[in-house]
Amino acid sequence: MGMLGTARADELSQAGARLVEKYGQAVVSLQIVTKTTVSYGGKDASKEESKSETTGLVIDPSGLVVTALSSTDPNDILRSFMPDKMQMSTQVTSVKIILSNGQEMPAQVVLRDKDLDLVFLKPKKKPAKPLVATDLSNAAKPALLDETITLYRLGTVASRSIAACADRIQGIVEKPRMFYLPGAQTANTDGGAAIFDKDSKIVGILVLRVAPGRASSNSGFMSGMKESMIPIVIPASDILDAARQALEK
């Protein structure tokens, strides 16, 4: 690796340690229970209840949390690729915010934004003390190939431990709405994972961008889905605008 490479690795490692110390507790686990009903031709074909977990980010000391809507209701994406005669409805029946110390806080959805693939949740009961929250107003605006650090929570098999990966901004799309393309390591983490720069400034969170309209009829179901969606980093400024609405709920 050489001395220069070693120095860079050490610098990144130290930046990651500072970031986890400052905002690690703001990266939480979300446990979601959903009921899904699938019908075909107007007749119910199946009903199913499922439980899943994903990463969320506390963005206000009151406990307001943001994550990717597609991570809490992936069926919403599937509906776009289903035949016209097939319908799917999903109801979120239970949501819990699980803090870094294991404390579980029953929560509720206060705002969904399908265009941005964001969902905001808040505890049903006010926290006994303010939670550690990420400052969205002090955001980074990285350039192409700038280094980033991504924080997310592992699943129950790994005790919901904090995890991190180092990456670089692979692309910046300006229109019709500005967003960043993450590197492969970040793209393979949870929807809702938080992306920061080396100075612990928030860049945004990982969400899924889905092309409007249905997949081509010439494409298979899975290939059509793959062609029509891509993981992106939505900028903190966009999240902040929506968060202001969520705080008023």
Print the SS3 string covering 56-81: EEECCCCCCEEEEHHHHCCHHHHHCC
Sign, CA torsion 27/33/38/43: negative
In sequence order, which ranges of the chain are alpha helices (DSSP H)?
Answer: 2-23, 69-72, 75-79, 184-187, 221-228, 236-247
Quick one: average pLDDT of 119-141?
97
193 CB-side CA count, 13 A: 28
The answer, yes or no, to whether residue 92 has pLDDT greater than 70, is: yes
What letter represents residue 66's amino acid? V
The answer, yes or no, to whether residue 16 has pLDDT greater than 50, is: yes
Cis amide prior to 176 (ω within 30 degrees): yes
CA distances, 56 to each of 6, 67, 83, 84, 204 (Å): 32, 5, 32, 33, 12
State the pLDDT at residue 229. Answer: 87
**Is the distance from CB of 143 to CB of 202 less than 8 angstroms?**
no
Q: What is the pLDDT of residues 150-175, one digit of tens each?
A: 999 999 999 999 999 999 999 999 99
Please give the sequence-ordered ranges of beta strands (E in DSSP) within 41-178, or none if there are none.
Answer: 43-58, 65-68, 86-98, 104-113, 118-123, 147-153, 162-168, 171-173
Q: What is the pLDDT of residues 19-66, one digit of tens each?
A: 999 999 999 999 999 888 777 766 666 778 889 999 999 999 999 999
| Domain span including residue 67 | 2-247
Give me the number of domains the chain comprises. Answer: 1
Quick one: average pLDDT of 197-218?
82
Q: For residue 84, what pLDDT band results from cuts at 50, 70 and 90? A: low
Quick one: average pLDDT of 96-116?
96
What angle is formed at CA 54 by the lines to CA 197 and CA 76, rounded to 5 degrees? Answer: 110
Q: What is the pLDDT of residues 182-194, one digit of tens each?
A: 999 999 999 999 9
Q: CA torsion angle for 88, 114, 189, 14 (degrees, to 10)?
A: -160
The CATH number given to whatever domain includes residue 239 is: 2.40.10.120
Average pLDDT, the chain: 88
pTM: 0.89
C-alpha span between 36 and 41 (Å, rounded)? 17
The answer, yes or no, to whether residue 180 has pLDDT greater than 60, is: yes
Q: At which residue do the structure tokens 């307001």 appear?
A: 64
State what percent of residues in the chain have pLDDT above 70: 83
State the pLDDT at residue 50. Answer: 86
The answer, yes or no, to whether residue 13 has pLDDT greater than 70, is: yes
Q: What is the pLDDT of residues 222-247, one digit of tens each?
A: 454 556 789 999 999 999 999 999 99
pLDDT top residue among 98 and 43: 98
